Amino acid sequence: MPEEIGLFEAMYSQRAVREFKPDPVPDEVIHKLIEAATKAPSGSNRQGWKFLVIRDVELKRKIGEFYNRARESRYGGGAAPASNIPPRRQAASNYMAEHMHEVPVLILACIEHDGGPSTMSRGGSIYPAVQNLLLAARGLGLGSVITSLHKQYEDEVKALLGIPDNVETAALLPIGYPARRSPYGPTTRAPVEEVTYYDKWGATA
């Protein structure tokens, strides 16, 4: 098991990693990631999360095909950069889409539901678990990124993987050891003063 780092170091250096070494990720490490995910809060403590670990190369290839089609549909293909995405980030996204089958492990985070429409409150019961998993990955020397383009083909992905109707996929998380060209942070974020109000919207003091 890799040596762990501190929580705040993990938060401050976590960033999207889309290029990975081919090195396998041990089962006990995947178990630790998912265990960390299950320590998150959920609505009424229902713990409706499920995590589908995908190692099969052909399944990863087919998921990659759906992901790539969604990417091309949304961004107009990979030849020209999308106007709202920095070229470097788009290049990394394109690379991951085209090499999805080479990612050591994919984890599909899912949430069980009662059959009603998808809502933000439903997401509140799975995305904290996803963030726990991402932080645990960083803490153990792994890289990942939260992706959701596959949801444009939600029905097809669920059929491919045998996911029942009362389960919604929330995030597709590629997991692996970061390639040299895809390092950890630091990240660039807006300062706290620009995103914080006090008592009333827009009040900065």
Q: What is the pLDDT of residues 140-157, one digit of tens each?
A: 999 999 999 999 999 999
| All structural domains of the chain with their residue ranges | 7-195
Cα–Cα distance measured from residue 30 to residue 170, given in angstroms and rounded to the nearest whole number? 18
Question: Regarding predicted confidence, which is higher, 172 or 86?
Answer: 172
Closest by Cα among 64, 73, 92 to 156: 64
Q: How many CB atoms lie within 10 A of CB 116?
A: 8
Residue 1 burial (CB count, 10 A):
9
Write down the pLDDT at residue 6: 87
120: confidence class by pLDDT, cuts 50, 70, 90 = low
If you average pLDDT over residues 68-74, what whole number do you get? Answer: 84
Dihedral sign computed on CA atoms, order 148, 151, 153, 159: positive
Name the residue with tokens 């409150």. 121
For residue 98, the model assigns a pLDDT of 87
Q: Does domain 7-195 have CATH number 1.25.40.10?
A: no
